[in-house]
Amino acid sequence: MAQTMMIAGHAKLPKGMAARDVYETLTVTAEIDPHYGVIVEASCTLATEHAHHFINQLLKGHSLREGLDVILDVIDNGYHGKAKDALMAACKDMYYYYTELIEEKTKA
């Protein structure tokens, strides 16, 4: 089994964002410890390196095993920009893929 796994979530970016000039969608990726569901590192396709670092700091250390509410709460309280809804939607999408993977593994 891999030491970590990568999961990505996607959401449409709002109009008027610098990142939208490069990407149509926002992607949030998370490297996850498969045993505990803890986010080891996270990144996103926002335009600045500072935003990438900030999102990493917001998500790092949270366990997807404990659900999505805490992650959505830290984004809601920590990120104040046009991409907030897209970040939250991308995290929901990422969480969906995580739960699908866990479900597959428990059936196997």
- Residue 3 CA to residue 71 CA, distance in Å, equals 23
Neighbours of 70 (CB within 10 A): 12
- Give the predicted TM-score (pTM) of the model: 0.88
Domain ranges of the chain: 5-107
Terminal-residue alpha carbon distance, the chain: 14
Q: Among residues 65, 43, 67, which one has the least CA distance to residue 53?
A: 43
DSSP 10-23: EEEPPTT-GGGGT-
Q: What is the dihedral of CA 59, 44, 78, 60, to 10 degrees?
A: 10
Residue 16 has a pLDDT of 67
Tens digit of each residue's pLDDT, the chain (108 residues): 569 999 999 998 877 665 555 567 899 999 999 889 999 999 998 878 999 999 999 999 999 999 999 999 999 999 999 899 999 999 999 999 999 998 888 886
- Residue 54 CA to residue 99 CA, distance in Å, equals 25
Q: Which CATH architecture fits 5-107?
A: Alpha-Beta Complex (3.90)
